[in-house]
Amino acid sequence: MAMAKIGVLMTCPMLSYLEEELNKRFNLFRFWEAPCKSEFLTRNSDSVRAVVGNAFFGAESELIDSLPNLEIVSSYSVGLDKIDLVKCKERGIRVTNTPDVLTDDVADAAIGLILATLRRICVADGFVRRGLWKNGDFELTSKFSGKLVGIIGLGRIGSAIAKRAEAFGCPISYHSRSKKPNLNYKYYSTVVDLAANSEILIVACALTEETRDIVNRKVLDALGPKGILINIGRGAHVDESEIVAALIEGRIGGAGLDVYQTEPYVPEQLFGLENVVLLSHAASDTVETCTAMADLVIANLEAHFLHKPLLTPVL
């Protein structure tokens, strides 16, 4: 089957390698280049049989409704919160994502955020670069090894973080929808209880209606003035106004954040805080992982149009 005529809609700029490979194999539509989205869809909707989205722009209800011949959504992301799964299921639209290949990088980034926050690595770097060392030593920081680590969500990524934290001698506890069998980690049935028994609280769960704002004022107060929050999940997992207030007021000790509620916009109050480390939703952004994710997106599309089993089916 010649796939060069199959219309694939790429929702926004992603890895250039992915864009180039899609363009080689399919009739690629670059949605972000359309000056008028509604006019573009009116003109091309019948031609689009696949959508490639990501964590910022996936396939929500309105887009799906405008594409009558849509057969598959292949997401360049592990998260599914930007895809209307209910509508896809109703219409028989297949959905794939990119699990596993990004697990190690996201877990590595979580550990990096912990170390950078506790040891104040970014601040210490600026201390040296500004020539302040000659005036005296940098202030003492806090160690990571042995601290109580609590993880919200013990799926692939949460489990990978737990293994890495164990190597630092950290006791691990967790909260999830249910207790996991055959684990030595302590389970807490509520996030407040988990936070109260953690020095480092890590958000690693999928974003659903149940987990939206799962970290709220009660959780932050339970974590306390010496605790730090690490978020490598989604921005909507955390009540952003509450974490900003908790950091400014010293009700928690610090935070390492990779994600935010309204990306790419970050609360400006965080910029002046030295107890916060900020990343740009980049936990999985290594050359190796992004290339592997792109290859998986393409492989799922090719499998679908060749009537072969999907590699990483969600629906």
Tell me which residues are annotated as active site. 234, 263, 281
Sheet holding 172-175, edge to edge: 186-187, 172-175, 149-152, 200-203, 228-231, 254-257, 276-278
d(CA 49, CA 7): 6
Helix pair angle (287-305, 103-118), 10° resolution: 150
- Considering only CA atoms, which of 305, 303, 239, 232 is closest in space to residue 55? 232
12, 56 contact by CB (below 8 A): yes
Those residues with Cβ within 8 angstroms of residue 115's Cβ, 6 or more apart along the chain or in another chain: 121, 144
SS3 262: strand
The three-class DSSP label of residue 215 is strand
* Residue 193 parent element (H or E): helix 191-196
Q: Closest Cα partner for 207 from 238, 232, 237, 231?
A: 237
Tokens 């030593």 locate to 137
d(CA 55, CA 195): 27
Burial of 299 (0-12, 13-18, 19+ CB in 10 A): middle
